[in-house]
A = this chain, B = another copy of it.
Amino acid sequence: MTELLLATRNAKKLVELRRILEAAGVTGIEVLGLGDVPEFAEAPETGATFEDNALAKATDAARATGIAAVADDSGLEVDALNGMPGVLSARWSGKHGDDAGNLELLLGQLTDVPDERRGAAFVSAAALVRPDGAQTVVRGEWRGSVIAEQRGSNGFGYDPSFVPEGGTRTAAELSAEEKDADSHRGRALQQLLPALRELAG
């Protein structure tokens, strides 16, 4: 088995990557999380773009552990906020990882914004860095709009108020399989599959 470190402490992301690899028939890769390499401390995400952050995280993790590492940085770009929260999505309320507070703040900011200006896109950049330093960086996008209510309990972050284009359900009302096929992170990880297949050997 080739070890692959997913540079995250988010258990849902680990499950997601394992599910996508399995569905794609990529075997021979054991996906570890940061919980499995306690010696490695993540640096703060201070890049100006998702790509910067994903690449910095994967590079740090691969260097520190000697294991091939995948990292992603994802967020919601809201048209009426000129593309923000963007790279600040996870700490929009000023408090890192406060999902409920971040979403509540966003909905408050959009209170007076009319429907026709509530377009948004979930964006994810994913980077694979191999122990020899070789890099692959990809990007996935998922267009939709931000509604005023919150619906559904699958997913996390801004999912309960994001309705993907062409649908009526929120991202938090979709099944894991539906999200893998369409979502920003699903699309980014799909694009990493050729490189991961090669890694598996």
Given A94-B105, A94-B109, A105-B93, do A117 and B48 touch, yes or no (CB 8 Å)?
yes
CA distance A81 to B91 in the complex (A): 13
- How many chain A residues touch B (CB < 8 A): the figure is 26
CA distance A112 to B112 in the complex (A): 29
Are the CB atoms of B84 and A111 closer together than 8 Å?
no
Are the CB atoms of B109 and A91 closer together than 8 Å?
yes
Chain A residues 139 to 155 lying within 8 A of chain B, measured CB to CB, are: none
Given A82-B83, A82-B84, do A92 and B109 touch, yes or no (CB 8 Å)?
yes
A160 within 8 A of partner (CB): no
CA distance A91 to B81 in the complex (A): 13
Chain B residue contacts of A65, Cβ below 8 A = none
Are the CB atoms of B112 and A93 closer together than 8 Å?
no
A113 within 8 A of partner (CB): yes
Chain B residue contacts of A104, Cβ below 8 A = 94
Are the CB atoms of A108 and B86 closer together than 8 Å?
no
CA distance A107 to B108 in the complex (A): 18
Are the CB atoms of B112 and A94 closer together than 8 Å?
no
A95 within 8 A of partner (CB): yes
A114 within 8 A of partner (CB): yes
Chain B residue contacts of A46, Cβ below 8 A = 112-114
Closest to A88 in B: B109
As a 0/1 sequence over residues 114 to 130 of chain A, the CB contacts with chain B under 8 angstroms (1 = contact) are 10010000000000000
Closest to A107 in B: B94
Partner of A105, one of B44, B86, B105, B112: B105
